[in-house]
Amino acid sequence: MQEVVQQLVNGISLGSIYGLIALGYTMVYGIIRLINFAHGDIYMIGAFVGYFAIRTFHLSFLPALLAAMAVSAVLGMVIERLAYRPLRNSTRIAALITAIGVSFLIQNTALLAWTPDPRSYPDVFPLRTYEIGGVYVDNRQIAILGVALVLMVVLHYIVNYTQIGRAMRAVSQDADTARLMGIDVDRVISFTFALGSALAAAAGVLVGIYYNRIDPTMGTMPGLKAFVAAVLGGIGVIPGAMLGGLVMGIAEVAVVALTESTWKDAVAFAILIVILLVRPAGLLGRQVREKV
């Protein structure tokens, strides 16, 4: 029983990281129907920015986190402006190919600049482990949970209670009508990219602190898994991304606990294929039928 709770705690920690990344996928997909393949690499950039902020500029945890989020937000907006906006009226496949290209570009540039060797993340807070009824929770897990929770609440507030949030929802319903209603669609899309990228960057910093190890290819797998989480929860549905992330995190931890850890990367994709076949709209999504 203790073991189960312990794994649950680990799973939730991992899951909230997937959830944070998945939010970016789901918002961007919801608004321009693009799988932003480069999202995982923005997460990686976030981790590296945090790393340099702490190591080179000697910032403490929170300022470093905010710096990483700010830099990634700008990066996300730049990518959207340069690579995706010109393609907004072309086919979705063309946009997807571009996104794959952007992902490769970021990753390989990072490989060149920072070498493929993993770096160990600077210690911002010394590890402390607490025992509660035989279950171990450390302060890093608490930080992950805390930051994830705060960010999700902030996001919820922005999307539901601010003017820009209302504009985002309008654009995701129907961009053309939103434009007719006087909404600056380009600005809303830019803002969405900024928001999603900032959340991914936060996840990057948290992962760096939690696993104490970052490298330029670290974004690929979590990126793909977070995408699966977004699909699992129902792509375009914001609470779905959080739910999907948690389910994915717990499933992965369970597989590692029960079998060999090398199988863990297969879990995500098995879940993906099953969910796409059984309930393609995801857990919280609504099923739509194509008009003939």
Partner 1 sequence: MKKERILPSSGPSLRQKLSWLATGLVVLILLAVNIGVYRGAIDFYFSGVLVIAWINVILAVSLNLINGFTGQFSLGHAGFMAVGAYVSGLLTIHLDWPFPIVLLAAALVSALLGFVIGLPTLRLRGDYLAIATLGFGEIVRVVLLNLDITGGPRGLGGIFPKTTFFSAELVAILTIIVIWNIIRSSHGRAFVAVREDEIAAEAMGIDTTLYKVLAFSIGAAFAGVAGGLFAHHQMFIDPRSFTFQRSIEILVMVVLGGLGSITGSIIAAVVLTILPEALRGMAEYRMIVYALLLIGLMLVRPQGLFGTKELGDFLGIARVRWIKARQPAAGVLKSHGGDGR
- List residues binding partner 1 (CB under 8 A): 34-35, 83, 86-87, 90-98, 100-105, 107-109, 111-112, 220, 224, 227-228, 231, 260, 262-263, 265-266, 268-270, 272-273, 276-277, 280, 292
CB of 100 to partner 1, least distance (A): 6
CB of 185 to partner 1, least distance (A): 20
Nearer CB in complex with partner 1: 154/266: 266
Task: Spell out the residues 6+ positions from residue 115 whose beta carbon is closer than 8 angstroms to its own.
Answer: 216
Nearer CB in complex with partner 1: 26/141: 26
Which amino acid is located at 91 in the chain?
A: T
Which amino acid is located at 197 in the chain?
A: S
Nearer CB in complex with partner 1: 224/250: 224
CB-CB contact of 60 with 82 (8 Å)? no
CB of 265 to partner 1, least distance (A): 5
Q: Which two tokens stand for residue 286?
A: 């609504």
| Helix, strand or coil, per DSSP, at residue 91 | coil
CB-CB contact of 186 with 85 (8 Å)? yes
Instruction: Find, among 86, 76, 79, 47, the residue nearest to 64 by Cα.
Output: 47
Instruction: Find, among 285, 291, 256, the residue nearest to 6 by Cα.
Output: 256
CB of 193 to partner 1, least distance (A): 16
| Helix, strand or coil, per DSSP, at residue 120 | coil
Nearer CB in complex with partner 1: 140/225: 225
CB of 260 to partner 1, least distance (A): 7
Which amino acid is located at 236 in the chain?
A: G
Nearer CB in complex with partner 1: 24/208: 24
